[in-house]
Chains A and B, each alone.
Chain A
């Protein structure tokens, strides 16, 4: 089983739709969780952290379920500019704080 797994998509949704991505992780020692965004042929950028209590940033909501070992990202009222690949990232406790990236979920928002 891969360390971090995501549905690769692609997800094609109309503008204004609500879309959700899930990500599962295999190592229960995982400590920290994040979502990065990567535009086509560009570098990844940190989108948001994921806290145990869940957190919201505008139209984006991130949730963590430690018992089931998955995190989610919900995008409400999607915009054309949300089209990108969303990368799930996990950090394991262990001193090196190495980031483990999922393969990403591709989202295309259509007019």
Chain B
């Protein structure tokens, strides 16, 4: 079965710690994205990557970092510089020229206390 996996589903961290969220896809999609969703808010784009070894900042990149060393993988690191890290994080992917049709992973709920 093709799809996008994110792990873990729930993650708890202490303030001041960096944490890396995993995102893997076997859809052979070129583009991958990270979004953050807060209660009562729309999805906000953190970072996106249209090709291996290249990525661009989205609307709220501060306090986050990414890498795209492999086509299948796009991990997101939430650093201690992110002021409000508790949120629902969604990873998505799409065929390169069909960005409108994004396939989302099940998400990771990160709680930082």
| Chain A contacts to B: CB under 8 angstroms | 4, 8, 32, 34, 42-46, 49, 87, 89, 91, 96-104
Contact = CB atoms under 8 A, between A and B. Distances in A.
B104 interface: yes
A43 B105 contact: yes
22 contacts: A4-B42, A8-B40, A32-B100, A42-B107, A43-B106, A44-B43, A46-B101, A46-B102, A49-B100, A87-B43, A89-B100, A91-B100, A96-B48, A98-B99, A99-B43, A99-B45, A99-B99, A99-B100, A100-B42, A101-B43, A101-B44, A102-B42
A39 to B, nearest CB: 11
A103 B37 CA distance: 9
The 5 closest A-B CB pairs, nearest first, are: A43-B104, A97-B99, A101-B42, A101-B43, A103-B42
